C-alpha cells in the first residue's frame, strides 16, 4: 500500500480484509513519517507485522540502527508484547533475494514466503453462520453496474442468493440479489458460483450500497463494525470554468457533469467529501492533502473536464476550551548541511517549530518540525530551489493544535492583463523588466488573467497586446531586437500553491 498519508483512506479501508502485514523499511533511510501512519493503523487492529529491511546492498545501509528505530517506533505506537516480537528479514528487492541476516547477498524470496506461512494466522472465519461481508472498496462496471469488494466474515454466498445492505447505523439501505460473484486471481476478477467465509470477493447486483456498509443474509439485523476513517484536513472549491476561452481544451464543462463526477469520486473514495458551495455552480471538495486533490484534478483534466480551482484552505476546528484549532503536520527533511540554515529560517517564517536535528549520514542533516498545515502550502517548490533539488521532504498529518495566527503568503504581486487577444512580443519586451512573465508571444490571454509575477509586492495591470506604433517617420537608428527570457511555467501543484484567495487556477 502507499504509505503517503494523503492516500491513507484507501489503506484504512482495506486493513479490515487482511490477516497480516509486511513492513518494508529502507536500510539507509529508516522509518519515514508516512511509515508511522499506516503502521499505527495496523497495530491498532492487532495485526502482527513482519519487518523486511530492504536495499541491504546499499553502500550507506545501517541495518541494525534501522531495526532499533523500527522497535522504537512500535513502542511509540503502543504495540503489544506479541507485536514487539516481530520476525525480521533482510532483502534487496532489485536483486530479488531475502535472508535471515544482514550479510545476505544472494538467493531468492523463499525465506519471505516461509515466514508469511509460519507467522500469519489463518483467516478467523465462521463457515456455518449467516452470510456477512463488510464493503471495503467500490468500483463501477459499464455492464454489471456497482461492484462491491470485501471479505466474507461468515457464511457462504451463492449466485442469485437474496442479500441485504445495512448502513453502519443498522438501517436497511436496500435489498437485492447477488447477480454476479467474482473471486480474485492476482489482479484479475474471475466469475464464480459461490464463495465461503475467509474469501475476498466482489459482488454485483446492488445499486445503493457503498463503502463501510454490511452486505448480509436478509435475516441479519446487526451491521459489522467499520473502522472509522480520519476526517479530511483541507478543502478546495471546484467550479465551472467561466473564462472567455472555456470549452477550447475540454468537452465536459457543465456543472452537472462536474457534480456527477465528484459524487462518483466521493462514493468510491471515503477520504474525499463533496458538498455544494454557497457560490453558484461550485462544489466544496475536502480531502487529506494537496497531493490527493491534485491527483483528482489531474485525473479529471485527462478525462476532458474543464474546471476553475481555488486555493486550498485548511479545515479549522474548535477545541475543548472553545478556542480555534488547526491541523498540524510532522515534517521530516533530509538536506545537505550547507542548506540546513536556509531551511530552518524558511520553516520558522511559516510558524514551524523544530523538534529534532541530527546527522543522517553522507553529509546530510535530518531536521524534524511540527508545522501548521497551511504554512506548508506552496513550500515544496521553494524548498527544492533552496536545496538545489537535493533535499527530501516528507510530511504527515499529526494532530489538531492551537491556531498560530496569520502566516505571510507569497512576497510578490502579479501582472494582470487588461485586454483579451494574443500577446505581442513588443509589449512583452517592455513588461519583462517589471517582473517574471508566464506567457510567450502569440499566446491567448484575456482580461483579468495572471500573465506574470510582479517584481514588487503589489498587483500591476498591464497590456500585453500593445504593438509598435507604425509611422512614416524614419527612426534615427535601427530597432533594438527584443530578447525575451523563457516564461516561468507552473505545474498544476505549483499553480494551486502559488495563487492567493482572490485568484483561481483554470
What DSSP letter does each residue of 341-358 carry, written as one string? HHHHHHHHHTT-EEEEEE
Looking at the domain assignment, is residue 477 inside a domain? yes
Looking at the domain assignment, is residue 1 inside a domain? no
DSSP characters over 98-156: EESSTT--S--SHHHHHHHHHHSPPP--BTTS--EEEEEEEEEETTTEEEEEEEEEESE
What predicted TM-score, i.e. pTM, was given to this entire model? Answer: 0.71
Q: Could you read off the pLDDT of 68-122 as tens digits, one per residue?
A: 999 998 998 888 888 999 999 999 988 989 999 888 888 889 999 999 999 998 8
Q: 432 with 468, same domain?
A: yes
Looking at the domain assignment, is residue 350 inside a domain? yes
Closest by Cα among 386, 393, 378 to 334? 393
What contacts 408, CB < 8 A, 6 or more positions away? 349
Angstrom CA distances, 426 to 176, 203, 252, 432, 467, stand at: 69, 64, 36, 10, 6
Q: 309 with 321, same domain?
A: no
> Long-range contacts: 351-358, Cβ < 8 Å, 24+?
351/375, 351/404, 351/405, 351/407, 352/376
Q: Strand 364-372 and strand 324-336: pairing?
A: antiparallel
Cell of 178: 447477488
Looking at the domain assignment, is residue 86 inside a domain? yes
Domain boundary among 314, 329, 351: 314
CATH number at residue 363: 3.30.70.240
Total domains in the chain come to 5
Looking at the domain assignment, is residue 506 inside a domain? no
Q: Are 45 and 18 in contact (CB under 8 A)?
A: no
Q: Are 503 and 311 in contact (CB under 8 A)?
A: yes
Which pLDDT does position 6 carry in this prediction? 63
Q: 285 with 326, same domain?
A: no
Which pLDDT does position 474 carry in this prediction? 61
Q: 157 with 242, same domain?
A: no
Looking at the domain assignment, is residue 408 inside a domain? no
What stretches in the chain show pLDDT beneath 70? Answer: 1-9, 361-362, 471-480
Q: Are 279 and 504 in contact (CB under 8 A)?
A: no
> Does an H or E element contain 291, and which?
helix 290-302
Q: Are 226 and 168 in contact (CB under 8 A)?
A: yes
Q: 305 with 349, same domain?
A: no
Q: Are 2 and 135 in contact (CB under 8 A)?
A: no
Rounded distance between C-alpha atoms, residue 241 and residue 26, angstroms: 44
Looking at the domain assignment, is residue 222 inside a domain? no
Q: 335 with 306, same domain?
A: no
CATH number at residue 304: 3.30.70.870
Read off φ and ψ for residue 67, nearest 5 degrees: -60, -40
Q: 243 with 297, same domain?
A: yes
Read off φ and ψ for residue 434, nearest 5 degrees: -80, -15
Q: Are 160 and 193 in contact (CB under 8 A)?
A: no
Q: What is the 3-state secondary structure (H, E, C) of 380-393?
A: HHHHHHHCCCCCEE
Q: 245 with 180, same domain?
A: no
Rounded distance between C-alpha atoms, residue 244 and residue 464, angstroms: 17
Half-sphere exposure of 171 (CA within 13 A, CB side): 3
Q: 200 with 238, same domain?
A: no
Domain boundary among 270, 297, 314: 314
Rounded distance between C-alpha atoms, residue 312 and residue 308, angstroms: 12
Q: Residue 113: count other Cβ atoms within 10 Å of its Cβ.
A: 11
Looking at the domain assignment, is residue 502 inside a domain? no
Q: 324 with 298, same domain?
A: no
**Torsion angle (degrees, nearest 10) of CA 75, 78, 83, 89:** -40
CATH number at residue 41: 3.40.50.300
CATH number at residue 171: 2.40.30.10
Query: Running DSSP on this structure, what letter comes out for residue 505?
Result: B
Q: Is the dihedral of CA 414, 420, 425, 426 positive or negative?
A: negative
Which pLDDT does position 51 carry in this prediction? 94
Rounded distance between C-alpha atoms, residue 37 and residue 28, angstroms: 20
Q: Are 86 and 50 in contact (CB under 8 A)?
A: yes
Half-sphere exposure of 61 (CA within 13 A, CB side): 19
Which pLDDT does position 315 carry in this prediction? 86
Domain boundary among 282, 314, 346: 314
Rounded distance between C-alpha atoms, residue 272 and residue 230, angstroms: 11
Rounded distance between C-alpha atoms, residue 497 and residue 374, angstroms: 10
Q: Is the dihedral of CA 260, 265, 268, 269 positive or negative?
A: negative
Rounded distance between C-alpha atoms, residue 398 and residue 405, angstroms: 19
Q: 87 with 53, same domain?
A: yes
Q: Are 49 and 24 in contact (CB under 8 A)?
A: no
End-to-end CA distance of the chain: 32
* Structural domain of 330: 317-402
Q: 84 with 141, same domain?
A: no
Amino acid at each position: 500500500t502507499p504509505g503517503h498519508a494523503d492516500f491513507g483512506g484507501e489503506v484504512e479501508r482495506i486493513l479490515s480484509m487482511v490477516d497480516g502485514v509486511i513492513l518494508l523499511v529502507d536500510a539507509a533511510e529508516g522509518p519515514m513519517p508516512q511509515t508511522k501512519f499506516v503502521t499505527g493503523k495496523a497495530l491498532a487492529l492487532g495485526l502482527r507485522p513482519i519487518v523486511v529491511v530492504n536495499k541491504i546492498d546499499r553502500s550507506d545501509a545501517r541495518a541494525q540502527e534501522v531495526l532499533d528505530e523500527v522497535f522504537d517506533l512500535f513502542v511509540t505506537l503502543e504495540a503489544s508484547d506479541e507485536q514487539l516480537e516481530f520476525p525480521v528479514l533482510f532483502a534487496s528487492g532489485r536483486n530479488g533475494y531475502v535472508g535471515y541476516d544482514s550479510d545476505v547477498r544472494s538467493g531468492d524470496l523463499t525465506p519471505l514466503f516461509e515466514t508469511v506461512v509460519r507467522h500469519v494466522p489463518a483467516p478467523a472465519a465462521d463457515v456455518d453462520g449467516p452470510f456477512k461481508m463488510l464493503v471495503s472498496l467500490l468500483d463501477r462496471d459499464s455492464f454489471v453496474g456497482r461492484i462491491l469488494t470485501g471479505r466474507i466474515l461468515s457464511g457462504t454466498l451463492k449466485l442469485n442468493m437474496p442479500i441485504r445492505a445495512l448502513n453502519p447505523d443498522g438501517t436497511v439501505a436496500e435489498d437485492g440479489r447477488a447477480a454476479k460473484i467474482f473471486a480474485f486471481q492476482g489482479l484479475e476478477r474471475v466469475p464464480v458460483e459461490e464463495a465461503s467465509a475467509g474469501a475476498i470477493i466482489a459482488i454485483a447486483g446492488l445499486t445503493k450500497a457503498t463503502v463501510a456498509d454490511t452486505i448480509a443474509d436478509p435475516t441479519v439485523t446487526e451491521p459489522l463494525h467499520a473502522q472509522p476513517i480520519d476526517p479530511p484536513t483541507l478543502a478546495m472549491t471546484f467550479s465551472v470554468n467561466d473564462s472567455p476561452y472555456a470549452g477550447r481544451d475540454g468537452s465536459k464543462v457543465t456543472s452537472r457533469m462536474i457534480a456527477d463526477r465528484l459524487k462518483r469520486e466521493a462514493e468510491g473514495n471515503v477520504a474525499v467529501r463533496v458538498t455544494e458551495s454557497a457560490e453558484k455552480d461550485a462544489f466544496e471538495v475536502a480531502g487529506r492533502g494537496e497531493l490527493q486533490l491534485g491527483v483528482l484534478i489531474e485525473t479529471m483534466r485527462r478525462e476532458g473536464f474543464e474546471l476553475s480551482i481555488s486555493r486550498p484552505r485548511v479545515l479549522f476546528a474548535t477545541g475543548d476550551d472553545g478556542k480555534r484549532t488547526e491541523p498540524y503536520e510532522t515534517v521530516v527533511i533530509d538536506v545537505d548541511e550547507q542548506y540546513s540554515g536556509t531551511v530552518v529560517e524558511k520553516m520558522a517564517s511559516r510558524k514551524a517549530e523544530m523538534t529534532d536535528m541530527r546527522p543522517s549520514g553522507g553529509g546530510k542533516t535530518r531536521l524534524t518540525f511540527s508545522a501548521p498545515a497551511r504554512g506548508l502550502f506552496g513550500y515544496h517548490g521553494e524548498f527544492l530551489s533552496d536545496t538545489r533539488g537535493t533535499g527530501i521532504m516528507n510530511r504527515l498529518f499529526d494532530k489538531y493544535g492551537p491556531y498560530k495566527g496569520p502566516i505571510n503568503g507569497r512576497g510578490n504581486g502579479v501582472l494582470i492583463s487588461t485586454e483579451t487577444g494574443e500577446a505581442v512580443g513588443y509589449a512583452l519586451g517592455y513588461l519583462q523588466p517589471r517582473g517574471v512573465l508566464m506567457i510567450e508571444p502569440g499566446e491567448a490571454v484575456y482580461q483579468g488573467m495572471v500573465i506574470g509575477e510582479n517584481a514588487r509586492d503589489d498587483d500591476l495591470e498591464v497590456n500585453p497586446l500593445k504593438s509598435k506604433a507604425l509611422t512614416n517617420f524614419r527612426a534615427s537608428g535601427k530597432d533594438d531586437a527584443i530578447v525575451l527570457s523563457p516564461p516561468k511555467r507552473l505545474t498544476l501543484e505549483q499553480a494551486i500553491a502559488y495563487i492567493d484567495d482572490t485568484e483561481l487556477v483554470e
